[in-house]
Each structure stands twice: as structure tokens, then as C-alpha cells.
Amino acid sequence: MFTKTIASVLMLASLATAHFTIEYPEMRGDSFATGASQYIYPCANVNQTEATNRTLWPLTGGSLSLDLHHPWTYLFVNLGLGTVYPTFNITLTNQFLNETGNGILCMSQVGLPSSFTPSDGQNASIQVVTVGASGSALYNCADITFSSNATTLSGDKCTNSSNVKISVVDGTTATTSAANSSSTHSAASGKSSELMTAASIAVVLGGVFASLLI
């Protein structure tokens, strides 16, 4: 009985610590805390206050690093303009991503749509959405201020786990292009589901090319 209870608690704990976290920019708050749940739109029920973490992000788009705990996931990134509870109506992933492998996925620069030019000092929030096999979505947010003083993460601070692979989801043709030819590319079949290492592809995000560098 006792061991059964312990086992159940451990199982719940491991379920709770699955999902994902935003490593950079700093998350709004702990979405594993009591009262929070990553199943809750739009930001896991993590309250936003005056003291909310806010990271400076470049005017042309910045780095995004995720710690993904599931074996695979679809991945969307949205932007909301404003300071308090903005509406996430700008997509930064026109073609959303299919990610495989659990670990760190770091995109050195997530580009902005060409139709949007942030002003220096403008506040916004980034919403990361993942969708897995069950079809239910998970949410986490990070609050930013666009700044001409901000830079993207340097290469050594933006590395990917070796087992993390991503591809762009596209219904017709593959739109990923290899920045360098990698061995994982040899099985090219013209299918959009082809996986490449995150390190080796450039991907259209938000209408501009953003290199996924490690």
C-alpha cells in the first residue's frame, strides 16, 4: 500500500516535470507551481505582475531556448504586443516545427514577420505552444522588451542536445535547406517529415530566414 502510494506520487511527479520549459528568454514564472498548469491557455496560468521577469530582445528577433521533455512535439511560437496580458496574434512560426528528441532546442534567432517592426523599448510576450500525440496543447510564456541594445545568445550559450532534431511542417514540399550537408540528410526522399539536426538547418520563421545555429 505504502509503496503503491509512493509509486503513484512518483509517477505524478514525473508527469508534472515532463512538458517543457523556456530556458531563454526567462520564463514569466514557474509553470509547474501550484495553481499553474501548462494545459491552460495562454500562459499556463502564471500570473503577470509588475515584477515579472522581462528580458531584452533584439529589434530583429532574438534567441529562444527550450528544454523539451517529451519524445516529440509540434512547436509554435507566437508574439503578443503590450505589457500586461497581451493577445498572441502574431505568429513567429508561419510554418510550424516538428521536433523530435527530448532535450535543449536553441534557436539563435527567431525572426519577426516583415510586416512588424518593433520600436525600441516596446514590451511584448512570447508564447511557446507545443502539441503532442494527444492533440492537447501546452503553453509557456516569456516576457520581453525589444531593445536596440539587446543581442542574440552567443554560440556557446545556444547549443542543442545532440538528439534534438527539427523539421518544418509543410503539406507539400520540403522547405528546409541544409546550411551544411549533414549525414542525417542522406536519406532525402522529398518528404516534408524528413528530420535534420537543428544545427544544420535554416528555417523560415516569421517570414524571414532565421538560422538555427548551435
Measured from the CB of residue 196, what is the shortest distance to Cu ion in angstroms?
24
Measured from the CB of residue 46, what is the shortest distance to Cu ion in angstroms?
16
CA atoms within 13 A on the CB side of 205: 27
Measured from the CB of residue 66, what is the shortest distance to Cu ion in angstroms?
13
Name the residue nearer to Cu ion (CB basis): 6 or 12: 12
Name the residue nearer to Cu ion (CB basis): 18 or 204: 18
Name the residue nearer to Cu ion (CB basis): 19 or 28: 19
Q: CA Rg, the chain, in Å? A: 18
Instruction: Give the helix ranges, DSSP H, for the chain.
Output: 2-16
Strand-pairing partners, residue 104, are 67
Burial class (CB in 10 A: 0-12, 13-18, 19+), 143: buried
Q: Which of 82, 150, 87 is nearest to 122 (CA)?
A: 82
Measured from the CB of residue 19, what is the shortest distance to Cu ion in angstroms?
4
Q: In whole angstroms, what is the distance from residue 191 CA to residue 158 CA?
A: 28
Determine contact, residues 130/174, Cβ cutoff 8 Å.
Answer: no
Q: In whole angstroms, what is the distance from residue 152 CA to residue 61 CA?
A: 8
Q: Which residues are at the interface with Cu ion (CB under 5 A)? A: 18-19
Measured from the CB of residue 57, what is the shortest distance to Cu ion in angstroms?
26
Name the residue nearer to Cu ion (CB basis): 39 or 209: 39
Q: In whole angstroms, what is the distance from residue 70 CA to residue 78 CA?
A: 20
Name the residue nearer to Cu ion (CB basis): 18 or 56: 18
